[in-house]
Amino acid sequence: MLSSFFSLLILSIFGQINLMDPATPIQEEMMLFHDHALVLLIGIFMFVVILGMNLVLNKLSSRTMLEAQQLETIWTIIPALLLIWLALPSLRLLYLLDEQPSDGLVLKSTAHQWYWSYELPLFNNSFDSYMVPLSDLTDGMYRLLEVDNRVTIPFEVNTNIITTSADVLHAFAIPSMGLKMDAVPGRLNSMNMFINLPGVYYGQCSEICGANHSFMPIVIEAIN
């Protein structure tokens, strides 16, 4: 009963606290790593609290203890093993983020102050994407997130997203897909995206790029 309560309250897959539903395998892996790290953190926190309470409440004294090599060895080895337990899935996730399949689509996004330009070479299509002004919003539209031209791509297809900037630093970020790339002038950054489900996914520039930084959203629509 207690473990179920903690799962519903804390772990992201069940509780969804501050995390969006994953739309790509990478975001699913990130959420699993979040849960993995959270279990470790909660375990350490509970151990420290219990140990601290025991030290405060016990009436024994250890003023004559000069050294305890066995104890020092234990409290050095155990944290090292815990760090390895945390590092191994983290390294695996980093390698997954860098994977670039050779097949699939290519989507190039170029950041401007303050809108995005997109190119889909396979379809010989290029367009600009501006935020829909508040005065043009209709029922069901999201404030500061809707755009006049959405990027429409098929789901369950590898898509290599290449991003750059035409002026200052920007960042291409879609939280539900686990995407966050710096858009740097004169440089190309790329990440792979494999969308599991059809739908409309929203993101924003996550690098402060000027006065209208918060008015250049990203919208990707995944279709069959």
Whether residue 87 is contained in a domain is answered as no
Whether residue 83 is contained in a domain is answered as no
Whether residue 215 is contained in a domain is answered as yes
Is a pLDDT exceeding 70 seen at residue 2? no
> What pLDDT is attached to residue 102?
77
Q: Kindly write down the DSSP assignment for every residue of the chain, as one continuous string.
A: -HHHHHHHHT-HHHH--S-PPP-SHHHHHHHHHHHHHHHHHHHHHHHHHHHHHHHHH-----TT----HHHHHHHHHHHHHHHHHHHHHHHHHHHHHT---SSSEEEEEEEETTEEEEEEGGGTEEEEE-BPPGGG--TTPPTTT-BSS-EEEESSSEEEEEEEESSS-EEEEEGGGTEEEEE-BT--EEEEEE--S-EEEEEEE-S--STTGGG-EEEEEEE-
Whether residue 94 is contained in a domain is answered as no
> What pLDDT is attached to residue 119?
92
> What pLDDT is attached to residue 14?
53
Classify 17 as helix, strand or coil.
Answer: coil
pLDDT tens-digit map of 93-151: 888 888 888 788 899 999 999 899 999 888 888 899 999 988 888 888 888 899 988 99
Whether residue 201 is contained in a domain is answered as yes
> Which two tokens mark 140?
């069901």
Q: Which amino acid is at 75?
A: W
Which residue range(s) make up the domain with 193? 1-59+100-223
- Bridge-based pairing of strands 158-165 and 189-194 is antiparallel
Q: Are 82 and 90 in contact (CB under 8 A)?
A: no
Could you give the dihedral angle defined by the CA atoms of residues 158, 209, 147 and 180, in that order, rounded to the nearest 10 degrees? 20
pLDDT tens-digit map of 61-85: 766 666 778 888 888 899 899 999 8
> What pLDDT is attached to residue 8?
45
Lowest mean pLDDT across 1-5, 68-72, 178-182: 1-5
Q: For the domain that residue 108 is a member of, what is the CATH number?
A: 2.60.40.420
Whether residue 209 is contained in a domain is answered as yes
Whether residue 182 is contained in a domain is answered as yes
Structural domain count, the chain: 1
Is a pLDDT exceeding 80 seen at residue 60? no
C-alpha span between 224 and 197 (Å, rounded): 9
pLDDT tens-digit map of 157-173: 889 999 999 989 999 99
Whether residue 208 is contained in a domain is answered as yes
> Which two tokens mark 61?
């004294």
pLDDT tens-digit map of 25-49: 888 888 888 888 988 999 999 999 9
